[in-house]
Amino acid sequence: MLPPAERMRALLEGRRPAYSLQRELYVDTELYELELEHIWGREWVFAGHGIEIPGPGDYLTLPIGHYNIIVLRGADGVVRALHNVCRHRGSMLCDQAQGSVQRRIVCPYHQWSYELDGRLARARKTDAGFEPNDHGLVQASCEMVGGMIFVSVAESPPDFAPVASLVGRYLAPFDLEHAKVAFSSTIVEDSNWKLVLENNRECYHCKGAHPELCATFPEAPLHSGGGEGDDLAALQQIVERCEAMGLPSAFTASADHQYRAMRLPLLGTARSMTHDGEPAVARRFGHLPADNIGDVLLYHYPSTWNHFVADHAVTFRMLPIGPMQTQLTTTWLVPGSAEAGVDYDVESLTSVWLATNAQDKVLVERAQRGVRSPAYRPGPYSTAEEEGVIQLIDWYATSMQGALGDGLQGAPA
């Protein structure tokens, strides 16, 4: 059998445009390892929100392939990303998905302790000549835009400035730095990460699968730059109206469609993504001038898609945890002044996307079981309905081919 990199090259070179990927790319462990190195080990990954770690010592952790990252707010207020690995004998330092340390991070194994910026503070009974400055926690790259935290484990990650420039102006009106988390849910889907992301990038399946979502969200492929007729007219109308109010709205994407932002109209008179289209929260984000401003969509491959309406936001963080397993964390944000039980009801706020996530879990796990069969053959995407999936798979293939071709190593040794 060919080495994994050669197999991957051959599969990508032999793939048919506008068709789903070959079976091995959804099930093979060795090819998955290449993706961890060359996609997840190179790109910016959505980690969470600054408001989730408001004070010094507050942290969240996330797995990025074989890496585990602590995202921590320091005593100076700066948010940093640190590898969750003690510099003594490699013990993991923080086990919880989210938590808080006091003045220092203390290893539970031998009690080496670290300052909140990662510097080694104390190590017991070290030998003569031991240099504490050489044994701080390994740092990962960390950037923030509009209150959202992105990290990269690459030694030289892609320039984040273009992402911040494109995305930042769409997020600014929501003032998410002063929002708060109303609810968060983490589930594991027994499916390859690409199948999960493919499912998100089209609404070809929505009518038959998502009655709650389709009460307010348009099925037309507007989110990938498509659409026609009345759908396109409704989109143009809300873009013009909201931009006249000073709210960025037009479809804007990077050249390779890795990240993009836009505003979509909601259906009919809907003002929020709820069962009845009415706001779930009796307050608005930031200084938004109205509540009928549609839905701002933000995507960034490979890890996140998000929805922002006037009264709440729903963010999604997708992480691969195995060749055929994906972790999905969904977080609902509301204006910081909103009070649960007074300004909003958590069940009403979360019901649409909890239902949609459960439905999608069934769909992507069924897809995974199907593509595991040796009888599976790649099938054609609908260019009218699945242009977003085509864009995703083209980005994936181009990224992997470029990485395998140049032989660069994306992540620290």
Q: Is 230 in the same domain as 124? A: no
Asked whether the predicted pLDDT for residue 411 surpasses 50, the reply is no
Among the candidates 101, 130, 152, a domain finishes at: 152
pLDDT band at 25 (very low <50, low <70, confident <90, very high): very high
Residue 123 maps to which CATH number? 2.102.10.10
Q: Is residue 77 one of the residues assigned to a domain?
A: yes
pLDDT value, residue 407: 45
The residue from 107, 126, 152 where one domain ends is 152
Q: Answer yes or no: do 364 and 283 share one domain.
A: yes
Condensed to tens digits (0 to 9), the pLDDT of residues 256-290 reads 999 999 999 999 999 999 999 999 999 999 989 99
CB contact burial 57-80 (16+ within 10 A = b; e otherwise): bbbbbbebbebbbbbbbeeeeebb
| pLDDT given for residue 413 in this prediction | 35
Q: What is the DSSP letter of 336?
A: T
Q: What is the mean pLDDT of the chain?
A: 95
Once rounded to an integer, what is the mean pLDDT over residues 297-301? 97
Q: How confident is the model at residue 412 (pLDDT cuts 50, 70, 90)?
A: very low
Distance CA 236, CA 107 (A): 55
The percent of residues in the chain predicted with pLDDT above 70, rounded, is 98
Are residues 59 and 173 both part of a single domain? no
pLDDT > 90? residue 19: yes
The answer to whether residue 332 scores a pLDDT higher than 70 is yes
Shared domain check, 285 and 309:
yes
Residues 186 and 331 in one domain: yes
Same domain for 215 and 290, yes or no, is yes
Answer whether 264's CB lies under 8 Å from 270's CB.
no
Mean pLDDT of 153-180: 97
In a domain, 130, yes or no: yes
406 pLDDT more than 90:
no
Section 333-339 average pLDDT = 97
What domain range includes position 140?
45-152
The CATH number that applies at residue 218 is: 3.90.380.10
% of the chain exceeding 90 in pLDDT: 93
Find the angle CA(253)-CA(397)-CA(323) to the nearest 5 degrees. 110
Whether the CB-CB separation of 137 and 87 falls below 8 Å is answered with yes
pLDDT over 60 (residue 248): yes
Residue 373 exposed, middle or buried by CB count within 10 Å (0-12, 13-18, 19+): exposed
pLDDT tens for residues 27-65? 999 999 999 999 999 999 999 999 999 999 999 999 999
Please tell me the predicted confidence (pLDDT) of residue 226: 74
379 located within any domain:
no
List alpha helices for 201-255, DSSP H: 206-209, 229-244
Is this model's pTM higher than 0.75 or not? Answer: yes
pLDDT, tens digit (0-9, with 9 covering 90-100), for 227-245: 778 888 899 999 999 999 9
* End residue of a domain, out of 131, 152, 173: 152
136 and 185 share a domain? no
394 exposure class (CB count in 10 Å sphere: 0-12, 13-18, 19+): middle
Within a domain: 402? no
Residue 373, pLDDT > 50, answer: yes
179 with 137, same domain: the answer is no
Q: Is residue 21 part of a domain?
A: no
pLDDT of amino acid 227: 73
pLDDT of residue 12: 97
Please report the pLDDT score of residue 349 as a whole number: 98
pLDDT given for residue 230 in this prediction: 82
Please indicate, yes or no, if residue 209 is contained in any of the structural domains: yes
Residue 20 lies in a domain: no
Of 297, 313, 302, nearest in space to 179 by CA: 313
Instruction: Report phi then psi at 399, rounded to 5.
Output: -65, -45
At 221, the pLDDT band (50, 70, 90 cuts) reads: confident
Q: Is the same domain home to 217 and 324?
A: yes
The answer on 249 and 123 residing in a single domain is no
Contact 404, 8 (CB under 8 A): yes
Do 227 and 120 lie in one domain? The reply is no
Task: Classify residue 413: in a domain, yes or no.
Answer: no
**Does the structure show a pLDDT above 60 at 408?**
no
Same domain, 194 and 268: yes
Total domains in the chain come to 2
